[in-house]
Amino acid sequence: MNLFSLLDQVAARFPDRGAVFQGTDMVHSFAGLRSRALRIAAGLRAMGQPGDRIAIASENVPEYVELFFAIWAAGMAATPVNAKLHPRELVQILEDSGASTVFVSPKLADGLELALAGSPAASCRRVAIGGADYAALAAGEEWTGPIDPDPQALGWLFYTSGTTGRSKGAMLSHRNLLAMTIAHLADVETVDEACSLLHAAPMSHGSGLYMAAYVARGARQVVPASSAFEPSEFLDLCDRHPGCGAFLAPTMVQRLRLEAERDGRRPANLRSIVYGGGPMYVEELRRALATFGPVFAQIYGQGESPMTITSLRRGDHVSDDDAVLGSVGFARSGVEVAVVDADGRPLPTGEVGEIVCRGDVVMAGYWNNPRATAEALRGGWLFTGDMGSFDRRGYLTLRDRSKDVIISGGTNIYPREVEEVLLRHPEVAEVCVTGQPDPEWGEIVVAFIVAEPGREISPGSLDAHCNASIARFKRPKRYLFVEELPKNNYGKVVKRELRARLANG
C-alpha cells in the first residue's frame, strides 16, 4: 500500500475540511492538498524516474506536507534533511543518497550552492520552495498515471541525526511507515477529524513521521509561523486549533512548561504531547504533569524502527511509581522486544543488556551501507545499541546507549541513573554525565552541571546529595559547571562534544 492512498481516501471523505494551516490561516483543504500533491508528482515524473530520491532541505513549512505526498504519488522516496545541519553535512547526504532533486528553502539555498561546488552532488537539481520553478510544478496538470502499490518500495530515506559522526540513511518502505502509523493510532493517541497536529518539532524527523497518522484520520496539520520552536506561539495555537497534539523532545517540554508557569497560561485545547528522542527525567516529568495535566505519552524508537519500539501510555503517567515514570513502557503493537547479552542471548528479568526488536516497522537496512546493515540487523532482529532491562511487570527501562556506559574499575555505571539523582538537587537545572579516560580506573564519572539561574552549587553539596541515593562508586569524581549543554536540532545533548572538551583539557 502506497501512503498516498491515505490522502486519497481522506480527500474523498472530507474534501472541504481544512488539511494544512500555517499559524491560524488555512493553506489547503484535503481536496486542495490532494490536487497540489498530484500536480507536483506529475512534475517530478517529468524530471525523473520511479525510485528517485527526492531531498527536502527546509525548516518547517506548509509545503512539507504536499511534498511528501507528491513524492509518494510519483513512486519516489522522500529524503528529508535536518535544516540545522551544516551545508557540508547536507551535501554529504545528497551525495550518499544520490538524490536527483532537492527542494530547498530560501534560507538554506545560498549555503547549499557554495557547499555543492565541486561535489559529486552538484548535478542534483535544485528547486527553491516558494520560487518560480516550484510554482510551475504546482500549476501543471495532475498526475493520472498509476501509483505504485508495492508496499516494499522505498518511501522514506531517513538519515540519522549525525550526533556520533557521518549520517546513515535508514531505508523505510511504505510497509514500514504504515506499520508505524497503525501502531501509533493503536497505542499512543486517539485521533479523529476534530484534532490538530502542531508541527513544533522538525518535520524532517519525528513530527513529520506522525503526519501520516493525522492525515489518515482527517485531522489538520498546523505549521507554526515561526521556523523555530517558540513556546508562546505553541500555547497560542493550542487556543486557536481544536484537539491539539504534538511530538516534542524532552527539552521542548521543559521550555513549554517554563513558559506556561511564567505566564500562568493553560492551553485551552491541548489534547496530547508525545515525547521522545532523549531522556525525560522523572523530576521534570512530574513538573510537566502538574502544569499540563495527564496529556503525556512517551515513545521509544529510532529512525531504524521509526518512533516505534515501546510506549509509555497516557494512563501510566498518573502513576506515583518512579520506576514506571522512568521507564519507556511496553512493546508496541506488532513489535517484539527483547534484552540480550553480547552473544544475542535473551537475558532474565532485571538484567541489563542490549535492546533488540523485530516487526514490520523495522527498516530494510542502510542505504549503500551493507557493513552497517549487517551490524544492525542480525537474525531478523534490529540491534538498537541501547542498553536496558525489563522489570517483573514488563516495563522496559533504558539505561544508556551502549557506547555511553561508563566502565570504572571494571564496573558498569549508567549515566542516566546518576543524572536522575543529580536532577533532584534543588539547584541543578540540567546535567549530563559522561566518562573520562583514567589511568587508574579505566574511566571516571564526570558530571556537567547547569545551575538554576542565580544559584551557585558546591561540589560538596552534590557529593552529599549523591551519597544519599546511589552507591559511592557511581558518584561523579568531577563536576564541571557550564552555562549550557550542547544540543542538536532535536534537543538531544551531544555527548561527543562534551567528551571532546574533556579530551582537550
Q: Under CATH, what is the fold of the domain 4-390?
A: Rossmann fold (3.40.50)
Q: Taking 50 as the threshold, does the pLDDT of residue 238 lie above it?
A: yes
- Which has the closest alpha carbon to 359: 324, 308, 318? 308
What tens digit of pLDDT does each residue of 100-122 get?
999 999 999 999 999 999 999 99
- Burial category of 502 from C-beta neighbours within 10 Å (exposed 0-12, middle 13-18, buried 19 and up): middle
pLDDT band of 94, cuts 50, 70, 90? very high
Residue 199 and residue 27 in contact, taking contact as beta carbons nearer than 8 Å? no
pLDDT at 161: 58
Encoded amino acid at 480, one letter: L
The residue-averaged pLDDT of 453-467 equals: 93
Q: What is the mean pLDDT of the chain?
A: 93
Separation of alpha carbons 292 and 459, rounded Å: 34
What tens digit of pLDDT does each residue of 154-191 get?
999 999 854 345 789 999 999 999 999 999 999 999 99
Residue 54 and residue 71 in contact, taking contact as beta carbons nearer than 8 Å? yes
Separation of alpha carbons 254 and 367, rounded Å: 35
Helical H runs in 158-249? Answer: 174-187, 206-209, 211-216, 231-240
- Which has the closest alpha carbon to 271: 381, 369, 199, 194? 194
Q: Provide the 3-class DSSP secondary structure of residue 22.
A: strand
Domain residue extents for the chain: 4-390, 405-503
Q: Give the residue carrying C-alpha cell 541515593.
A: 469
Residue 275 and residue 296 in contact, taking contact as beta carbons nearer than 8 Å? yes
**In CATH, which of 3.40.190.10, 1.10.3080.10, 3.30.300.30, 3.90.230.10 is domain 405-503?**
3.30.300.30
Q: Provide the 3-class DSSP secondary structure of residue 407.
A: strand
Q: Taking 80 as the threshold, does the pLDDT of residue 440 lie above it?
A: no
Q: Give the residue carrying C-alpha cell 542516566.
A: 416
CA 323 to chain centre: 24
pLDDT at 162: 44
Q: Which helix (H) or strand (E) holds 309?
A: strand 305-312
Separation of alpha carbons 321 and 318, rounded Å: 9
Residue 400 and residue 415 in contact, taking contact as beta carbons nearer than 8 Å? yes
Separation of alpha carbons 184 and 214, rounded Å: 10
Separation of alpha carbons 104 and 84, rounded Å: 13
pLDDT at 164: 40
Neighbours of 132 (CB within 10 A): 9
Separation of alpha carbons 323 and 464, rounded Å: 23
Residue 390 and residue 339 in contact, taking contact as beta carbons nearer than 8 Å? yes
What tens digit of pLDDT does each residue of 347-375 get?
999 999 999 999 999 999 999 999 999 99
